Structure 1
Amino acid sequence: MRRVLIMSAPASASVAGNAGIDLDVGWKLHPQVALRPEPFGALLYHFGTRKLSFLKNRTIVAVVEALPSHADARSALRAQGIGDNTAAQYARALGTLAESHMIVPA
């Protein structure tokens, strides 16, 4: 099954309503997920669920790659130059990844 990352509101227990993931929690790639950089962004493949996701924005790729090295998602966003005024759209995108188990709480 192919999945395209669309910045929509997820519905998972680790997700804060329509705002996306909880930015004050640490996140990381699921241990069974591989990220492969591509000219358009990146591919994420989950070996456990066999799901494929496309990240069509290099900024979200940089955020996902930065997640494990930061205490929380908000810090990872700020490290990529994403301020609080635009954090909500990235929180929704990360929420989509969390809903599909591509990223998990650290």
Structure 2
Amino acid sequence: MTARVFDANCGWELDPQVRVRQEQFGVLLYHFGNRRLTFVKDPALAAVVSELDGTSTVAARCERAGITLGHKAVDAALAALEAGGMIRRARQ
């Protein structure tokens, strides 16, 4: 089984069925379509995910937030959000 590769050099957005709720620990994402519930605890990554609207690349947003892409945990978290249907490539 190969690890999923996340392409941070394109625009990403929250799935339209996902709602984000700010919590003390970070953010809670709930997908009304597949009923998945996901927690993002890292404050910087939570801010990046909350702001995904397709207008900027994830790489640019991460750079502004001080997040180093290529770090195994960051890449895995973003890939998991994609695999879970929480985020998707921006529709142009």
Q: Paired residue for 2:9? A: 24
TM superposition score normalised by structure 2? 0.83
Give the 5 Å matches for 1:1-106. 18=3, 20-68=5-53, 70-84=55-69, 86=71, 88-106=72-90
Compute the RMSD of aligned alpha carbons.
2.1
Structure 2: state its 5+ residue gaps.
Answer: none
One-letter code aligned to 2:86: M
Say if 1:92 and 1:85 are closer, same or farther in 2 by CA, change over 3 A: closer
User: Per residue, is there more strand in 1 or in 2?
Assistant: 2
C-alpha displacement of 1:22: 0.3
- Percentage identity across aligned positions? 37
Deviates more, 1:50-59 or 1:25-34: 50-59
Cα distance in 2 for residues equivalent to 1:70 and 1:80: 16
TM superposition score normalised by structure 1? 0.73
Structure 1: state its 5+ residue gaps.
Answer: 1-10, 12-16
C-alpha displacement of 1:69: 6.0
Cα distance in 2 for residues equivalent to 1:100 and 1:32: 12
C-alpha displacement of 1:100: 0.3
Say if 1:38 and 1:105 are closer, same or farther in 2 by CA, change over 3 A: same
